[in-house]
Amino acid sequence: MNLLEYKGVWVFIEQRDGNLQKVGLELLGKGREIADKLGEELTAILVGHNINDKKEELIYYGADNVIIVEDEKLNIYMTEPYTKVVSTLIKEKKPNVVLIGATAIGRDLAPRIAARVKTGLTADCTSIDVEDESNNILMTRPAFGGNIMATIICPDHRPQMSTVRPGVMQKLEKDESRKGNVEEFSIEINDEDINVEILEVVREEKNKINIEDANVLVSAGRGIGKKENIDKLRELADTLGGVVSGSRAVVDAGWIDKNSQVGQTGKTVRPNLYIACGISGAIQHIAGMEESDFIVAINNNPNAPIFEVADVGIVADANQVVSSLIDNFKNQ
């Protein structure tokens, strides 16, 4: 394999019903930084149906080029046709780096593409950088249960591929003066490529706010004592215009939904305000919330590790503090 033939940073842009998912825009932000360091171009790959009106947006968020594959048969994500489209593009155009969101779709798609184009894949990265001398991509992810961070390189194969957790990278400011190129590509999808039949699409409840999108998170830990106390946290979250999230301990106890779990095996969040109520601050939890803008920790143990990442620490009973906060905010 002649590694020098491979040029450019690609970001796979996830869309649902023609709506761009946030993770793709976040990866364009990171992709822009990597492309600039490498002196290469940044290309957004957009696959689906009724997506043509989204191409300009990808340029405004940092792409130099957009490659669109538009086909009615690509309307809903399916493993085989999407794998065929992206791996065909990679074989033909030979990018140096390919970034994909570590979402349900990305985790399904990326390993298949990597196998098809015979390269490696670093899954579930939390940081991506460029090694100064070699220009290899440094792909970092938690390993051994989150106890160490492993930095992985792919020295002998191209493209250098990774999936990256949603919420970890930051999208650029939208700049409508940015200019770029759009290329439409057609790849034939045969009946043999469609090996599943979609019977029904079940959508998430409409009024459920994704914790990754919330500006304020009031987060529950086992220290709040019992499921009923979640109601108080919800009241505080409502008062502040936020939502409730929690540690794995409270998810395992059935106090909150798995979708609301923060941490290594949950979601990575970056709200303006994160209020940790009765959360110890295990490394697997901190991995998912330490990038929050402002962290308030309430714990009755002054030595709890959560205080190490907190901007404000309150050593007290979490339920009492939550009740006082609700009263205070309501009286303002």
Q: Binding site residues for FAD, as ranges?
A: 222, 247-248, 261-265, 278-285, 299
Given candidates 86, 109, 297, 318, which one binds ligand FAD under the rule CB under 6 A?
Answer: 318
Between CA 173 and CA 183 the distance in angstroms is 24
Shortest reach from residue 68's CB to ligand FAD, in Å: 36
Residue found by looking up tokens 């002196």 in the block: 39
Shortest reach from residue 319's CB to ligand FAD, in Å: 6
- Residue 65 found at the interface with ligand FAD (CB under 6 A): no
Given candidates 43, 83, 247, 292, which one binds ligand FAD under the rule CB under 6 A?
Answer: 247
Shortest reach from residue 25's CB to ligand FAD, in Å: 24
Given candidates 46, 78, 304, 325, which one binds ligand FAD under the rule CB under 6 A?
Answer: 304
- Residue 223 found at the interface with ligand FAD (CB under 6 A): yes
- Residue 249 found at the interface with ligand FAD (CB under 6 A): yes
Contact status, residue 18 vs residue 49, Cβ threshold 8 Å:
yes
- Residue 323 found at the interface with ligand FAD (CB under 6 A): no
Please tell me the count of residues contacting ligand FAD according to CB under 6 A. 29
* Sole window of 42-50, 56-64, 119-127, 221-229 interacting with ligand FAD (rule: CB under 6 A): 221-229
- Residue 221 found at the interface with ligand FAD (CB under 6 A): yes
Shortest reach from residue 150's CB to ligand FAD, in Å: 14
Q: Which C-beta is closer to ligand FAD: that of 96 or that of 103?
A: 103
Cα 214 → chain centroid = 14
Between CA 214 and CA 69 the distance in angstroms is 32
Between CA 89 and CA 95 the distance in angstroms is 9
Between CA 166 and CA 103 the distance in angstroms is 7
Contact status, residue 66 vs residue 55, Cβ threshold 8 Å:
yes
Burial 209-218 (b: 16+ CB within 10 A, else e): eebbebebbb
- Footprint (CB under 6 A) of ligand FAD, residues 139-178: 145-146
- Residue 119 found at the interface with ligand FAD (CB under 6 A): no
- Footprint (CB under 6 A) of ligand FAD, residues 250-289: 250, 261-266, 278-280, 282, 284-285, 288
- Residue 110 found at the interface with ligand FAD (CB under 6 A): no
Shortest reach from residue 287's CB to ligand FAD, in Å: 7
Q: At a CB cut-off of 8 Å and minimum separation 6, what does 282 contact? A: 247, 263, 305
- Residue 300 found at the interface with ligand FAD (CB under 6 A): yes
- Residue 93 found at the interface with ligand FAD (CB under 6 A): no
- Residue 136 found at the interface with ligand FAD (CB under 6 A): no
- Residue 101 found at the interface with ligand FAD (CB under 6 A): no
- Residue 299 found at the interface with ligand FAD (CB under 6 A): yes
- Residue 248 found at the interface with ligand FAD (CB under 6 A): yes
Q: Which C-beta is closer to ligand FAD: that of 158 or that of 285?
A: 285
* Residues lying near ligand FAD in the complex (CB under 6 A): 145-146, 221-223, 247-250, 261-266, 278-280, 282, 284-285, 288, 298-301, 304, 317-318
